[in-house]
Chain A
Amino acid sequence: MSSEKRSGNILIPTRRELLVGAAALSASATLPRLASADAPSTAAVNTTGLAVTDSEVTVGILHSVTGTMAISETGSVEAEKLAIDQINAEGGVLGRKIKFIQEDGASDWPTFAEKAKKLLVQDKCAAVFGCWTSASRKAVLPVFEQYNGMLYYPTFYEGLEQSKNVIYTGQEATQQILAGLDWVTRTQGSKTFYLLGSDYIWPRTSNKIARKHIENHLEGCKVLGEEYFPLGNTQFNSVINKIKLTKPDVIYAIIVGGSNVAFYKQLKAAGIDMSKQVLLTISVTEDEIDGIGGENIAGAYACMKYFQSLDNPNNKAFVEAFHKMWGPKTVIGDVTQAAYLGPNLWRLTAEKAGSFDIDKIAAASPGVEFKGAPEGYVRIHENHHLWSKTRVGRARLDGQFDVVYETKDLVEPNPFPKGYQ
């Protein structure tokens, strides 16, 4: 069965609009019943003692719902629950309904490791959707490799990693950064950059890649300054002064969490006008703007693969379903969308492999394509990252983005970029 059909009915709410004389879809409308009817035997689809019964398959959701990271991870939890609901509504995976067990990582890496272990060793989850920060992923990675689990990791991250047991549904650094830099130099004629970041691995590595690209690949461009702030820092006046004095063409900001709010509010208060000053960020999604306030960041450019305002049928349906489930006010950011991909990709892979076995899933993953992806279309690369387009959006007053640029074709994921390390 091709994923073509499935893409149609992945999203129940869209049926109506898509049904318009699509033969494939009329077939797929009946597909759920079929799926459960000819459900393969448990013995066949589960040879390694995962938590799979004739009617159910158990997966785990592992995010921080308490502590500082809960701010960011809530969206991912919501997206994953939505995806699981929708899949179940269509008869589940290999004829089995998905049952999820949620654990709280509590924004604490050792806790993530503990809970990951619990989900694999005790609950025998067939797949785990979770983690947000690199630190939490690094903490659970050995667990997944030792107990041979499958993690779907939603966040854009620094790369330099590749594991049989992880599918990275977010972009790795080069995918997210390079296209944006090229675009800004090309269209804004920017020559000078000021790099900012929160003080941990992702911003530092990303800025490293950005710097290398600026200095080695962009004609006549240079970096005027690079600075890092403790996580949760709320005072940026000093660096803002430095920016005012060095007058860079582009402020390149990779500040995360609560610091964002302080940073952009203080930028605005300091009279830096985003309509004149180019600010390019890879860390601010619609979720963050919720806290920052649209009026404080309007005019800034963000570079990532998804924006809630994307105009395509998949996304319309996704946003509608999301709002139906979690309320019309909740916004959807890049990571939230990537988290939504997780369960869907897993389902497609499982049905391609005809099995829940981790090894079979891992082996079957490369080449799996999800045409119903809200961001349009994604395909899993041999390195377990996703082929995806990169887009630049400009923040609006209402907290949404206007997509001003999108790469012509899918950008290849390259977690170990030569010349950027």
Chain B
Amino acid sequence: MAMTGYRINPRSLDLIGFALIAVLILVVFPLMLDVFRLNLVGKYLTYAFVAVGLVLCWGSTGILSLGQGIFFGLGGYCMAAFLKLEASSVANTKIQSTPGIPDFMDWNQITALPYIWMPFKSLPLSLIAVIAVPTLFAFIIGAAMFKRRVGGVYFAIITQAVAAVLTILIIGRQGYTGGINGITDLRTLLGWDIRTDGAKYILYFVCCFLLLGTMFVARFIQMSKLGRILVAVRDQEDRVRFSGYDVANFKIFVFCLASAMAAVGGAMFTLQVGFMSPSFVGIVPSIEMVIFCAVGGRESVLGAVVGTLLVNWVKTSFSEAFPELWLFAMGGLFIGVVLAFPRGLAGLVTDQIIPRLPSGRFWSAAAQPNPAPAE
């Protein structure tokens, strides 16, 4: 594992970095991009929640989870469940044999709303569920694993297996989950149509502020003694134990936190894109999100966000330009980054650029990796 190098006055560096990101997503993008592209960026930003979580979980603490898609997905599904119930009012579902329940239930001969769906009739409960369900799930996994001192590759692969199990379950129990189609055709939130351009702008900004908040929390933790302990756990687990800390608890905490962040991202995804699909719970997106984080720099909150934007922008523009060959580019990108900048773009900045620049403060800040604009 790479180690955090010594940064020149990290706080000021951070502040300006944060400012740059904030300006970029709050001002530059909305001015530069049409609503369709902006909505795309909004979608990318929902992945950034996961990446930020991974910075804490993987970058700081060294716990590589290949199952973050699980929590992104669960969060998204909880949100989708509420919206779906609102969308499938008796009026909207006249043609069904049982009006008033989601269409996919009707297709599967379910004639009454299942109990697990009841809570999602209320928005407050649903919002609680968005955070609570994934976090609880993470807690169960985390407790089981870390108390038993499962770590490293083993943890990574087990989370992968859990993702596989969950995918099969969601697809198999389609009467209750919408199956492989996911939960589609979501329309309104408390009567407010989330599909209009206006709504898309509002949701975009909500997403931005939530993300900035998440980034702040993550950074605050990194800066606190807790943050130092997490790094210590990564590099010197035994010593931490012999300093009287219960390592497992710290790991569980950070894993749950990362999951909660992912869940928020998932919920925002559902709101902005208008549906939730089981493909997120699977393995591929989970690994992709780890890669976003690696590209940006697994130890840098700012880096992770920038990396997420960058990779997705590359992905979209390449796949639009060469629909049949873009995978080459993606694969090349991942390999290149892993080989060339083990600590991602952020590492590139802090290790390569800043030291070479004249006097620290102003420059070091300006040298925060600038994301390629999503255009």
Partner-B contacts on A (CB < 8 A) = 65-66, 102-104, 106, 108-110, 113-114, 117-118, 121-122, 133-135, 138-139, 141-142, 146, 158, 160, 199-201, 204-205, 208, 228, 230-231, 416, 421
Query: What are the 5 A-B residue pairs with the smallest beta carbon separation, nearest first?
Result: A104-B323, A200-B180, A121-B36, A138-B181, A109-B277
Residues of B within 8 A of A103 (CB): 319-320, 323
Cβ of A113 to closest chain B Cβ, rounded Å: 7
- How many A-B contacts if CB must be within 8 Å? 98
Not counting A65-B323, A117-B39, A421-B97, a sample of 14 additional A-B residue pairs whose C-beta atoms are within 8 angstroms of each other reads A66-B324, A66-B326, A103-B323, A104-B326, A109-B181, A109-B279, A110-B273, A117-B36, A138-B184, A141-B185, A158-B107, A200-B171, A200-B174, A201-B181
- Scoring B residues 169 to 213 as 1 if CB is less than 8 Å from chain A, else 0, what string do you get? 001101000011110111100000001000000000000000000
Q: Which residue of A lies closest to B35 (CB)?
A: A121
Residues of A within 8 A of B195 (CB): 142, 146
15 A-B pairs within 8 Å (CB atoms) are namely A65-B324, A106-B319, A108-B277, A109-B275, A110-B277, A118-B320, A135-B180, A135-B182, A139-B277, A142-B186, A199-B172, A201-B174, A205-B107, A230-B171, A231-B180
Cβ of B324 to closest chain A Cβ, rounded Å: 5
A201 touching B182 in the complex, CB below 8 Å, given contacts A104-B319, A421-B97: no
Bound form: Cα–Cα A158–B180 in Å: 14
Bound form: Cα–Cα A230–B164 in Å: 11
Bound form: Cα–Cα A65–B280 in Å: 20
Residues of B within 8 A of A421 (CB): 97, 106-107, 109
Check B172–A228 contact: CB distance below 8 A: yes
Residues of A within 8 A of B171 (CB): 199-200, 230-231
Bound form: Cα–Cα A38–B108 in Å: 53
Residues of A within 8 A of B39 (CB): 117
- Scoring B residues 249 to 291 as 1 if CB is less than 8 Å from chain A, else 0, what string do you get? 0000000000000000000000001110101100000000000
Check B108–A142 contact: CB distance below 8 A: no
Cβ of B90 to closest chain A Cβ, rounded Å: 17
Bound form: Cα–Cα A195–B39 in Å: 43
Q: Which residue of A lies closest to B275 (CB)?
A: A139
**Is there a chain A Cβ closer than 8 Å to B168's Cβ?**
yes
Partner of B40, one of A65, A114, A146, A228: A114
Cβ of A68 to closest chain B Cβ, rounded Å: 10
**Is there a chain A Cβ closer than 8 Å to B343's Cβ?**
no
Partner-A contacts on B (CB < 8 A) = 34, 36, 39-40, 43, 95, 97, 103-104, 106-109, 168, 171-172, 174, 179-182, 184-187, 195, 273-275, 277, 279-280, 316, 319-320, 323-324, 326-327
Bound form: Cα–Cα A66–B330 in Å: 13
Residues of B within 8 A of A122 (CB): 34, 36
Check A142–B277 contact: CB distance below 8 A: no
Residues of B within 8 A of A230 (CB): 168, 171-172
Residues of A within 8 A of B107 (CB): 158, 160, 201, 205, 421
Residues of B within 8 A of A199 (CB): 168, 171-172
Cβ of A333 to closest chain B Cβ, rounded Å: 21
Q: Which residue of B lies closest to A120 (CB)?
A: B36
Check B273–A204 contact: CB distance below 8 A: no
Bound form: Cα–Cα A228–B274 in Å: 29
Q: Which residue of A lies closest to B182 (CB)?
A: A109
Partner of B174, one of A102, A117, A142, A204: A204
Check A135–B172 contact: CB distance below 8 A: no
Residues of B within 8 A of A416 (CB): 95
Residues of A within 8 A of B104 (CB): 201
Residues of A within 8 A of B320 (CB): 103, 118
Partner of B277, one of A104, A135, A141, A160: A135
Q: Which residue of A lies closest to B184 (CB)?
A: A138
Bound form: Cα–Cα A205–B106 in Å: 11
Bound form: Cα–Cα A122–B375 in Å: 13
Bound form: Cα–Cα A205–B277 in Å: 19
Bound form: Cα–Cα A349–B207 in Å: 43
Bound form: Cα–Cα A135–B316 in Å: 21
A142 touching B275 in the complex, CB below 8 Å, given contacts A201-B107, A201-B179: yes
Check A102–B323 contact: CB distance below 8 A: yes
Cβ of A160 to closest chain B Cβ, rounded Å: 6
Q: Which residue of A lies closest to B168 (CB)?
A: A230
Check A113–B275 contact: CB distance below 8 A: yes
Cβ of B40 to closest chain A Cβ, rounded Å: 7
Check A139–B184 contact: CB distance below 8 A: yes
Residues of A within 8 A of B174 (CB): 200-201, 204
A141 touching B40 in the complex, CB below 8 Å, given contacts A66-B327, A109-B279: no
Bound form: Cα–Cα A117–B36 in Å: 8
Cβ of A244 to closest chain B Cβ, rounded Å: 25
A113 touching B36 in the complex, CB below 8 Å, given contacts A135-B181, A421-B107: no
Cβ of B245 to closest chain A Cβ, rounded Å: 41
Residues of B within 8 A of A110 (CB): 273, 275, 277, 279-280
Cβ of A115 to closest chain B Cβ, rounded Å: 8
Residues of B within 8 A of A138 (CB): 181-182, 184-185
Q: Which residue of B lies closest to A143 (CB)?
A: B274
Residues of B within 8 A of A104 (CB): 319, 323-324, 326
Check B279–A118 contact: CB distance below 8 A: no
Check B273–A113 contact: CB distance below 8 A: yes
Check B36–A142 contact: CB distance below 8 A: no
Bound form: Cα–Cα A231–B171 in Å: 9
Residues of A within 8 A of B327 (CB): 66
Residues of A within 8 A of B280 (CB): 110
Bound form: Cα–Cα A121–B35 in Å: 10
Residues of B within 8 A of A146 (CB): 195
Check B185–A142 contact: CB distance below 8 A: yes
Bound form: Cα–Cα A104–B40 in Å: 16
Bound form: Cα–Cα A274–B95 in Å: 42
Cβ of A370 to closest chain B Cβ, rounded Å: 28
Cβ of B173 to closest chain A Cβ, rounded Å: 10
Cβ of B201 to closest chain A Cβ, rounded Å: 15
A134 touching B181 in the complex, CB below 8 Å, given contacts A104-B326, A199-B171, A200-B171: yes
